[in-house]
Structures are given as C-alpha cells and as structure tokens.
Structure 1
Amino acid sequence: MRANIHPFEKYPFDIRKLPADIRSEVEHFEFYTTSRAIERSIAAGNLIDPNTLLCWAYFTWIDAMELQTEAEILSSGESALKIIDEILEKEPTHKPSLRLQTYIRDEIKKVHKANKRYDRFHNIPVENLSLEEAEDFALFLSDCANDEKFKEKEYRLWQRLYNEKPDVFVEERTGRQYFGFKFYYLCRIASVLWRDLGRFEEARPLLWQIIGWPSVKDAELYSYNVSNAIEVLLLEAIEKRDEAEFIRLTGLMVSKFGEINAYRRSSGKGELTLIIRENPAGKILEFALEIGNPGNIRTIIDHFFAGKHVFIRNEKIKKNMEKAKTLIS
C-alpha cells in the first residue's frame, strides 16, 4: 500500500475474506473506479457482511486522497461514515469499523478547524472581496455552511462571480484555456436558490436557462448540472402529479444527453452515462409505473437505469424495475 494515501499500516478489513471480484478490484486499485465497482458488487449480491461493507467504506474514503481537497475530504468522508453507520447499527462494537470511523472524523475535524481562516470573511461585504477571495469563500460556504444567512451570502458570492468574472481564462504560463465559468456559476446560483433557500420561483427560470444553455461545450464540461436541473423539475412534477410534464421532462433528459454525447463523439471522446442517484431514480420509476405509459417506462429503464455505474440496493426499486421490464417486454 502507498503510505501517502493509506491511513493504516494494514487494511482494516480482511482482504482474504472478500468475494473474488471485490478482492480483484482492491488488488488493481484505481481512484473512484474501485469504490464504484465495490458498490456495484455489493448491490448485485445484496452483501451485508461487515468485512465487505468496511472495504467499501475504506475505499470510499480513499477517493478523497486523489485530490486531497477540503471538499473531497468532507464529501468522501461523510459518504464513508454513512456506510460505517450501517455496519455499527448491526455490530456496535465492530473494532475495525470504529477505528476507521474515528480516523475519518478526526480528518473532517481538521478541515473544519482549518476553515477558521474564513472567519474574517464573514463580516466583509461581498463586493469588498477580491474575485479570488469571493470564489474561495463561496466554495467554503457550499461545503461547510447550512445556516440560511450563510447560504444567502453564498448565493450573492456566486452571483457576483457570474457577473464579473470572464467566461474564459487563459493561463499565462502554459497558455492553457479554461472556459465555461458563466455556466458553472449559473448552476451554483440555481442550486443555492432551489435546494438551500427554497426560492423556487427565482430558481426555476435559471434551471431552464441551464437546460437550454446554447454552448454544448460548456454543458458537456458540467453535464451533471444539466441532469440535475432536469431531475429537480422531474421531482417537482411528481409532487404536483403532473403526468404530461413528467413525460416531457424524461424525454428532454434523454434528448439533452444525446446532444452532449453527440458533441463528445465529434470531439473523439467516449459517451457519458446518465447517472441519477438511487432515491430520486426510485421516485421517478415509481411515478412512471403509476402513469403506465409504456413508452415513458421504456425510456426510463433504457436510459435512467442502464449505466454500468447505476447501483440499486433498495428492494422496492428492484421490484419496480422487474415490474417495469415485464410491462415493456
């Protein structure tokens, strides 16, 4: 094991007791790929033994070491802790899990302690920060703040960056061009308004602006934001029981990813997989079954659940998938 990314001298799980496919993934470790492959095997085999789950938690945490940024440590750390909670719920004294839990919690505490450097920014008006400080502070608030007043400040920081920062930046030393800043900041603004501040009427036109963004080059760079914008509107259509809008949006999701992948093919890149998280994907499938439109059900099964990175552990969703496949077979 490489000492610079692994926290312990030995794995906290027993590699000899892992299923053969998972053991192979561990032995041929790659950032993000290994943890996803382990998750896929766990979902496929409905595996619940502590050793295998701990292996998944461990490599979910190790993904944070790819970039070693605060955001990755917080994100991967919280994901790993949720898996460990699942183990400890069944075996509260499972020592290897408790050891990894303690380690990850300590690393997360270090991040929060380091972020005290942003304390001085809290009382500085948004317009008085440099653009570099504004972006740094906005990213910090995105990762670490939940309070409404801080989310309001985050919203204003992204708005300032959208208005003032050039859409394209060229690095003087290398000549490398970075692009898509306007689209990225717009996505951040819409997300804070919708998810954190609940200002849906303000966010809705921005979501449609994201979906209809004229530059496929930008949309391809941040494709998750396109699918996320449509996902948000899909879930709203479900809440409103708006069948026609739901069917329209599922078709739009496929269409937009078709445009993005056509651009990628023309650029010599591989196609992207449409990935919807398990919980919203389950709600989308359940509502499609309620509507009972065979074409709509086929669209969802063929595109929302077809990717190799789609992992379903929820038994209700698995049953609904079988039901859906029977209906369209």
Structure 2
Amino acid sequence: MQANIHPFEKYPFDLKKLPADIRSAVEHFEFYTTSQAIAKSIAAGNLSDSNTLLCWAYFTWIDAMELQTGAEILSSGESALKIIGEILEKEPDHKPSLKLQKYIQDEIKKVHKANKWYDKFHDIPVEKLSLEEAEDFALFLSDCANDEKFKEKEYRLWQRLYNEKPDVRVEERTGRQYYGFKFYYLCRVASVLWRDLGRFEEARPLLWQVINWPSVKDAELYSYNTSNAIEFLLLEAVGKRDEAEFIRLTGLMVSKFGEINEYRRSAGKGELTLIIRENPAGKILEYALEIGNLENIRTIMDHFFAGKVVFIRDAKIKKNMEKARALIS
C-alpha cells in the first residue's frame, strides 16, 4: 500500500502523554500489530483516559489503509467509531475525537455511495456511457473505491477517455483553453494497472510513456504523476535489489523535476517541490544506505527529504535520516 495512510498532518492524540509501551508501538508502526498491542495494553492497565482511547481508535482505523478495500474501511471504521463513542459518552465535546469521528463517517459514506454507483453503472458497458458520465464515474471510483471490481471498471473508463476524449478543450463562454488531457488520462490508466490491479508488464511501457512525455507543458500541469511513475519503478528496483537501476531512476527523478521547473521558470511560475510520501521515501532511503553510494544518498537527502517535503513519523526512518546526514556531512 503506497498511499499516505495518515488523514491528518498531526496525530489527533498527544503522543508524549501515552504510556511508554503504547508510544513504542506507535513509533514502530505495523498494520494490525500496533492496534492490537494498544488494545492489549489498554486491557492490561484498565486504561480509560480519552487520549489513550483515541490513539487506539486512530490506529484501529489506520488498519483499513493496508488494503483500502470497502470491506476493510467498513470493518475498521465501525470498530474505531465504537471506541470513539466511549470517549464521547464521557466527553461529548472532545474535539479531536469529533474530528476523527467525522472523517471516518465520511469515508464510510463514500464506500456506501460507491456501492450504489457500481450497482447503477456496472451492468452498462463502458462504451455505452457518455464521455461525461465515464469521467464522472472514473473520478468517483478513483476517490471512493478500492475493491478490485471497481478498479477494473475504473481502468476501462480511463482507457476509453484516453482513446476518445480530445486533448484540448476550449470553454465556449470565455474562450479559455484547457490542455493536457491525453497525458492526464494516460497517467490514470498506468497508475491503476500498476498500483491497483498489479498488471505490471502491461503498465510498464505506459509508465515510461508518462515519464518521457514529450510535452513539458502537459507534464508540468500534473507533475505528481511523473514522480509517481518513477516512484513505482524505484520501489520495484528496491524489491529486486537492482542497484544500477535504482541509482539511475533516482537521478532521473531529479532530472525530470529539473525540466519541469525550468519550464515553470521560463513561464514566470514558481518552482514545484518534489514530494515523496513517508512510506516509499523510507524504503528508498533504507535501500540507498544499504548500497552505500554517497552521491546517491546525497541526492536522496537533498531532493526527497528536503525541508518539509516529507512529514516523518516513523522512528526507523528518522534514524536512517540521521545516519544518512552523518555520512554526507
């Protein structure tokens, strides 16, 4: 699971006020293991304070992010809401709990809505939908559904849009021109094939099409898709322990963002920041340290971990960052 699993910029609970064993479980997060460890500690210590219970509810919800299927969201969501209910019974105005409660309730509503949309459209062949309906349905499935049946439908919808929808649209009322649709739809097709359906060999040439797209003007509009495509291939290189490809792709990531920012400067725009999320960034840094190529480590630290690009919670990643800084200082 490569998506950002944390819904808020900061934890809704106070990490420093947790018992030491629960704080350790949070800092060394693992799906299911962390929530179970918290539950055991709460039961053993007969703990009932709102901060600890909210921590338990939070990581019970986070378990749904491993697979991100509708079934997991409903199951983990209902369990988390039950815990939050215990807090609100004692403290009805507990704002952090109310915030998490609303977020989870909204995500559960999306799953129910996705099921209704699927029931409405799944029997209709993709080619029978209007292009407007196809795009609305594809966007909705992208945002709200992760079950394989939804993703197969989403893939075919994006593919049809890539094949049939014009690359440029002019708004009749204002005459404003919108462009880059072919690039955007190709990004969507490749991402769903690789990330959601695991059809790697089908997706691979499409990812390279995204990376090597000839129009920087298009790529600049959707720069995240360029970094996302390279990220998929980087993580594959990590899994295969392919040092040469890993180092090549790291350089390519920086190079492509350099091209995008050069275009933006020439167009009078501000530069974009390369953003790699915590989970994949941690894996990339760990493998770079394993290889031990100092220039590669420097590139990763300078570009993948620059400033506030990545919000790091994981204790292991923080230690690796310290180790990397010591090596290149």
TM-score (norm 2): 0.72
Q: Distance in 2 between matches of 1:210 and 1:121?
A: 29
C-alpha displacement of 1:310 = 2.0
Shift of 1:113: 4.8
The amino acid that maps onto 1:194 is W
- Aligned 8 A contact 2:274 2:309 in 1: no
Shift of residue 144, structure 1, vs aligned partner: 2.6
Q: Any stretches of 5+ residues in structure 2 without a counterpart?
A: 1-6, 19-49, 55-72
Distance between the aligned counterparts of 1:222 and 1:236, measured in 2?
22
Q: What one-letter code is carried by the residue in structure 2 that aligns with 1:146? A: N
1:171-182 pair list within 5 angstroms = 171-182=171-182
Q: In 2 relative to 1, CA 314–117 (structure 1 residues): closer, same or farther, beyond 3 Å?
A: closer
| Identical-pair percentage | 75
Structure 1: which 5+ residue stretches go unaligned? 1-34, 55-77
Structure 1 residues 47 and 207, CA gap change in structure 2 (3 angstroms): farther
For 2:309 and 2:164, the matched residues in 1 are separated by 37
Q: Distance in 1 between matches of 2:150 and 2:117?
A: 16
Shift of 1:47: 5.8
**Shift in CA distance, 315/107, structure 1 to aligned 2, threshold 3 Å:** closer
Residue 171 of structure 2 corresponds to residue 193 of structure 1: no
Length, aligned pairs only = 264
Q: What does the per-residue CA deviation read over 1:152-194, in whole Å, with 9 as the maximum and x for residues that have no partner?
A: 1211111110000000001101111111100010011001111
> How far 1:326 moved relative to its partner?
1.1
Matches within 5 A, 1:1-329: 39=10, 93=87, 95=91, 96=94, 97-115=96-114, 116-117=116-117, 119-329=119-329
Q: Is the 8 A contact 2:261 2:272 kept in 1?
A: yes
Match of 1:301, as an amino acid? M
Residues 46 and 313 of structure 1 are in contact (CA less than 8 Å); yes or no, is this contact kept in structure 2?
A: no
Matched residue type, 2:98: R
TM-score (norm 1): 0.72
1:274, distance to aligned residue in structure 2 (A)? 0.6
DSSP 3-state at the match of 2:87: coil
- 1:295-315 Cα distance to aligned partner (Å, 9 max, x none): 101100111101423221211
Q: Which segment is superposed worse, 222-231 or 311-320?
A: 311-320
Aligned to 2:214, what secondary structure does the other structure show? coil
User: RMSD of the alignment, in Å?
Assistant: 3.2
Deviations 1:59-108 (A, max 9, x none): xxxxxxxxxxxxxxxxxxx9xx99xx7xx79x973742443333333434
Aligned to 1:11: none
